[in-house]
Structures are given as structure tokens and as C-alpha cells.
Structure 1
Amino acid sequence: MAAEFGEPGRRVLDRLHVADVIRLDPAGRITSAYPFSASPTLHRASIGGGSTVYAMCAVDALGISAMLAPRW
């Protein structure tokens, strides 16, 4: 999809990493996308009583429910 806008996907990921929006491992895989962590952490949040996700920090874990709460 990034190519539709004239940017290679890898360049977009690198720019997001430099901006500290996501974190990439040395192989270029996404390890976190704030506030979520793909790796286990001490900070977890439940989504709708179903899935449990890892958060980057305690504040992120608290904010996930508010971020995902329906606004209708």
C-alpha cells in the first residue's frame, strides 16, 4: 500500500522507527507499535474481556482500554 504513495514499505517502516512510533528488530520485523508490544512484558491489558495484549509500560496498559473504547 505504501507503494501507492510512492514510498517503498521498508522506507516507511524505517521512518516510523526513527520517529519512535514503532520499534524494529535487526531483521526489520516490528517488535512494538505503541502502545502494544509484540514481546511479552510485565504490562498486560485485556481487550473486551477476550484477548490479552502486552503493553510497552504501565501507563500504556491503562490507556489501551480507553483507546479502544467505543465512542458511540
Structure 2
Amino acid sequence: MALAAFINPSPVVIIIAVFNWMEIARIVEAEVKSLREREFISAGRMLGFSNMHIMFRQLLPKPIGPIIVAQL
């Protein structure tokens, strides 16, 4: 959707892209809330990883699959 908006920026494509982010945000929020309670997050905290490390290395890469599926 974003690629189509850059290649051929018609008003319809731009409007759909602007309003489609809310669905993706809900999916990511639900996935991250679910992942926060998993054992690997607790293990990372016990090992002394910083919150930024846990967020960028363990939490953020995981919702990529549901985001890709939602875009199709």
C-alpha cells in the first residue's frame, strides 16, 4: 500500500494508506501485550538486559509476521 502511494500517488490510495494504520496498530499492540508475559522476556530481565535491549531485540521483531499477514 505504501509502495503504491509513492509510485502512483492517487488520492484514493493515499486515503486508504492513512486510515489503514489503525488496524495494524491494534494488531501490534495485542501481539506486544501478549509477548510481554512470555518467559523469554522474564529471562532477559533476569539476565540483566536493559529495557531498550528487550524492546528492540526481543519484542519488536516478533509482530512482523502478523503485520505482513494483515497487509495482504
TM range (shorter): under 0.3
Larger Rg: 2
Q: Which has the higher contact order (CA 8 A, sep 6+)?
A: 2
Give the TM-score taking structure 1 as reference length: 0.26
Structure showing the higher strand proportion among its residues? 1
More helix by share: 2
